[in-house]
Structure 1
Amino acid sequence: MAPPNEVDKTIHDKATGDAYETATRHEAEKSLKLYAGWFCPFVQRTWITLEEKKIDYQYIEINPYHKDPDFLKLNPRGLVPTLAVPIPAPKGDTHPTSNGDSKASSTQGRPLRPLYESIVIAEYLDEHFADASKYGPRLLPEGDDELAAYERARCRLWIDHISSRIVPAFYRFLQHTPEKNSQYTIDDARSALLGAIKTFVEQLIEMDSERDSLSSSPGPWFLGGRFSLVDITLIPWALRLFLIDHYKKPDGVGIPEPGKGGNDEEIWNRWRTWFAEVQKRDSIMSTLSKRDRYIEVYKRYAEDETGSQVGQATRGGSSLP
């Protein structure tokens, strides 16, 4: 991995706006700990999930380019988000607690184990904190019947589409610089991103039609009136599309204005309906910092100078870490 550049070293050290208020409310010591970088969209997936599920947690800000040694003891990969989870030791387990000799720390005798990968963390939180009388609603369909199993599988298919198609296309577009990217044009990058988004929105329209035929729950989300992990998976990047508009002028992302979508007008109207609801939801807006801070941080991506693992993967044409 290339060493961090000067832009990486000067990252603002805390969230701003509503996200700052949320982080401040969760500064107190708790057994469940979120190690986070305020600007990271993968972190925001986890953060939205914690807020949506109404789970008590401690927020700990980490600069992912200059990692604290204690954080690396917990998670040697050094990735954010990392969720430190208190796990009762199995019977007979003599794994040491945190005394400087172990890679696992402990809280009141319960060793902390790291979870990383934002979707893995979200599914863990949804499953472990499942009691609706104590926590927020489930984020994947529940039930042991065949239909529920199918619906969960369908959710995971579209979670994969977002993670493997939309997210890499976002970074490929944002990092495009003509002097460094001769293998593809900015129009290629724009087309790939818009195409991946349109495929997702076409699925929303198809599911709307299914619900209409079944007189099922209407609503703007992937599961109709029910907010889900599929929505959470995409939201942080949808909220950061403005960065492409800012840095890749004059055409930006290229989503058409209302009434100018041509044959795709229905698709982009459905996208606007979904995105309008995104901007109203408390768990989302309370984990979002001020726009100017994102513009500052993502400059290194827009100029293709980032030393991040995501940036390097995009630059090298490999899968995201």
Structure 2
Amino acid sequence: MLTVWDKRVWIALELSGLDYQYIEVDPYKKPKELMDVNPRGLVPALRDGDWGCYESTVLMEYVDDISQKKLLPQNPKAKAESRLWADHISRNIVPNFYRYLQAQEADKQAEHGREFEKQVNILMEAADLEGPFFTGSQISFVDVMVGPWILRCPRVLQPYRGWVPPTKESRFGRFIAALESEESILKTTSGAELYLDSYERYAENRPNTSQVAKAINEGRGLP
């Protein structure tokens, strides 16, 4: 049985049909089992028998490789394009989410909010026109890569930064609705109160919040 610590890999495992065990960890009290897999103590991490590995994209591709239900397209060119958009999410959408949330001055919040929206819109402009998911009617690798961050918009960015939801008829609005109704995502999404509690320290940009928060404040890439 696979053991996993991570939201995106958890969704991928839900979709894969593989047997697995999901473990929540306290980022301030990291268990030995996690440290054995990733000595830095960071999630995501996954153990398969006596083998362990980490990093979201790597683990999602590993799950896809050993599963009969594929999230990545089998056509090599389409697969490469999915990987490019996954890289866009990691390089541009996720870091700008944190910059937007951690900014304390109103002008910086507005600046990072615009950049976050720009990067999300770039992704939406590349998505299948009809959707509702990125490549069409079925959830795919790119959707799982970005889904947890998109669902944090109404749960975190809206209450803490006044993020304005798109119209339901827009491409982005239909994408959000599709993610909110996807069973694998519903099973792995926490309640609104937990999101508010978990992200309060980011919204206030408190010292020693996380390695991610520190990297954003120092202008470095995410760990």
TM bin, normalised by shorter chain, reads over 0.9
Q: What does residue 134 of structure 2 align with? A: 222
State the shift of 1:32 in Å: 1.5
Q: Give distance in 1, aligned partners of 2:221 and 2:7.
A: 20
- Secondary structure in 2 matching 1:171: helix
Whether contact under 8 Å (1:190, 1:254) holds in the other structure is no
What is the aligned length? 221
1:121 and 2:59 aligned: yes
- Runs of at least 4 residues of structure 1 off by over 6 A? none
Give the deviation of 1:256 after TM superposition.
4.5
Question: How many Å apart are 1:70 and its aligned residue?
Answer: 4.1
TM-score (norm 2): 0.93
Superposed displacement of residue 60, structure 1: 2.3
Q: CA offsets, 1:196-233, max 9 Å, x none?
A: 011111111xx43xxxxxxxxx6411111231110001
Match of 2:3 in 1: 33
Q: 1: CA distance between counterparts of 2:84 and 2:119?
A: 14
3-state SS of the aligned residue for 2:181?
coil
CA distance in 2, matches of 1:161, 1:71: 28
> Conserved in 1, the CA contact under 8 Å of 2:124 and 2:171?
yes
Q: Give the Cα separation in 1 of the matches to 2:37 and 2:15.
A: 26
- Pick the structure with greater CA Rg: 1
Give the structure 2 partner of residue 100 of structure 1. none
Amino acid at match of 1:49: A
Q: TM-score, normalised by structure 1?
A: 0.65
Residue 26 of structure 2 is matched in structure 1 by 63
Partner SS for 2:137: coil
Aligned to 2:222: 320
Q: Map 1:45-84 onto structure 2 (within 5 A).
A: 45-84=8-47
Q: Spell out the pairing of 1:198-277 with structure 2 (5 A cutoff).
A: 198-204=121-127, 207-208=128-129, 219-242=131-154, 243-248=156-161, 252-257=162-167, 269-277=170-178
Give the gaps of 5 or more residues in structure 1.
1-30, 37-42, 87-111, 132-136, 143-147, 209-217, 259-267
Letter paired with 2:82: C
* Aligned partner letter, 1:235: G
1:174 and 2:78 are equivalent in the alignment: no
The answer on whether the counterparts of 2:12 and 2:144 sit within 8 Å (CA) in structure 1 is yes
Shift of 1:254: 3.5
SS state of the match for residue 187, structure 1? helix
Corresponding residue number in structure 2 for 1:94: none
Whether contact under 8 Å (1:194, 1:255) holds in the other structure is no
CA distance in 2, matches of 1:72, 1:203: 38
**Which residue of structure 2 aligns with residue 186 of structure 1?**
109
RMSD: 1.7
Shift of 1:73: 2.8
| Offset, 1:255 | 4.1
Letter aligned with residue 145 of structure 2: T
1:81-104 per-position Cα deviation (integer Å, ceiling 9, x unaligned): 210112xxxxxxxxxxxxxxxxxx
Specify every segment of 5 or more residues in structure 2 that has no aligned partner in the other structure, as ranges.
none
